[in-house]
Amino acid sequence: MPSAPPPTLSVTTEEFAAEALLPYADPRHPLVWMRGGDGLVGLGEAVRLTFRGPDRFGRARAAWTELVARAEIADDVRVPGTGLVAFGTLAFADGSDRTSTVVVPRLIVGRRGGTGWLTRISLDGQEGPAPELHPVPAADYRIRFSPGRLTPEGYVAAVREGLRRIEDGALGKVVVARDMVGSVPEGSDLRTALVRLAAGYPECWTFAVDGLLGASPETLVRARGRRLGARVLAGSTARGLDPASDAARANALLVSAKDLDEHDFAVVSVLSALAPYAGELSASPAPFPLMLPNVWHLASDVTGVLAPSVGTLQVVEALHPTAAVAGFPTADALELIAELEPFDRGRYAGPVGWVDAAGDGEWAVALRCAQVDQDGTVTAYAGAGVVGGSDAERELVETTLKLKPVMDAFR
């Protein structure tokens, strides 16, 4: 029996003054993408598409292409993020039980560079909701996190096993993650956590898509017109306690052979993945230290020009998973991750972001994040890259630093 055709969407975008975005978000089911106060907030659902399995990227891309072809779009603003837009979050692993989701809202409130807009998306002629302000309350919950499926002791053992495989020549790098679990009371306003993340980490992408909330410093791909950009992070250390020790830690990171090797793996993997889809590719001549409130990262920026007919979703599929979140070689690293981690990563370390009708968009790697399920369970994740010369105890400390932003947001 043939499947039903996708719905016809009528999309209109007009200027709209929005001093702040989060007050427009749904308190219990926020749909958010923002950085530095600019971004997008979605309300309601015109279309929800879900996918599982190794072909999830291709099916998502095909479904989105079909939706766009049937949409009638009137856009009077014409800046990135206007017109027809979908939010998406995709599972890390091919065999994940967690669905990959693409959501087209009924209403989008956006702001970029001083320009604000409102996009209404009607479904088969049915109008969506009107924009309403819902003030974000002060913290109405404080939750306690406990080790999940992988305890700190178990994590150290897993890293040591990964290091043994590397020293035996089985692979060059593997990223090992661990989980922490808590719960929020029924009916909690999840925007409270987003306010804390956005205020504490304004240089990161603050996001909420289908219960996945976080603040990621790593841009998987950002496409505008034919120009693309990515930011690669790999290698990190804690911030110092005072200006002198802080500078010393940043300088030590820049000359750390272990961290530089880890970073090189990540940059090479991104450039190799992009090569079939983009030209004029270039990366930072050397990694630079990226300062976050609680950690230094080694970072490199990658730029290029997309080939004709290549869109953001195609690049997202090509890049995932990068060596920064999986390892190298990719297939060997993924196999070892499945062996060492006693849990399903879900959407952690997968792509999260948005795409528009032209194929442009912004996507991050879902890091510094937690999945909030309908029963209130909150699962936070963090990982560390293991290469030759890694120390298991140090990698445990690194995951603790990476868990701090999202855990602090909920308590």
Among 205, 173, 197, 249, CA closest to 366 = 205
The mean pLDDT value for 211-240 works out to: 90
pLDDT of residue 140: 66
Instruction: Indicate the range of 146-150, 191-195, 263-267 predicted with least confidence.
Output: 263-267
Produce one character per residue of 357-373: b if its CB has 16 or more CB atoms within 10 Å, e if not. Answer: bbbbbbbbbbbbbbbbe
Cα–Cα distance between 354 and 359 in angstroms, integer? Answer: 10
pLDDT tens sequence across 203-225: 899 999 999 999 998 899 999 88
> From residue 399, how far is each of 252, 309, 347, 407 by CA, in Å?
19, 39, 17, 12
- 197 and 158 Cβ atoms separated by less than 8 Å: no
Query: What tokens were used for 299?
Result: 């970072």
CATH H superfamily, domain 9-128+145-409: Anthranilate synthase (3.60.120.10)
pLDDT-above-90 percentage for the chain:
70
The mean pLDDT value for 114-143 works out to: 80
Residue 387 has pLDDT above 80, yes or no: yes
Q: What share of the chain is helix, strand, coil (3-state, %, to 5)?
A: 25, 35, 40
> From residue 242, how far is each of 238, 283, 373, 405 by CA, in Å?
12, 32, 39, 20
Question: 158 pLDDT band (50/70/90 cuts)?
Answer: very high
Residue 87 has pLDDT above 90, yes or no: yes
The mean pLDDT value for 177-204 works out to: 92
Question: 4 pLDDT band (50/70/90 cuts)?
Answer: low
pLDDT-above-70 percentage for the chain:
97
> From residue 282, how far is each of 223, 229, 268, 289, 313 by CA, in Å?
15, 10, 11, 18, 21
pLDDT of residue 3: 57
Residue 1 has pLDDT above 60, yes or no: no
Q: Where are the domains of the chain?
A: 9-128+145-409
pLDDT of residue 236: 82
The mean pLDDT value for 124-129 works out to: 68
DSSP letters of 10-64?
EEEEEE---S-SGGGS-SSS-EEEEETTEEEEEES-SEEEEE-STTHHHHHHHHH
The mean pLDDT value for 191-195 works out to: 93
pLDDT tens sequence across 308-367: 888 899 999 999 998 889 998 999 999 999 999 999 999 999 999 999 998 899 999 999
Cα–Cα distance between 194 and 213 in angstroms, integer? Answer: 7
Cα–Cα distance between 181 and 370 in angstroms, integer? Answer: 9
Cα–Cα distance between 259 and 237 in angstroms, integer? Answer: 9
Question: 295 pLDDT band (50/70/90 cuts)?
Answer: confident
Q: Which residues are catalytic?
A: 173, 218
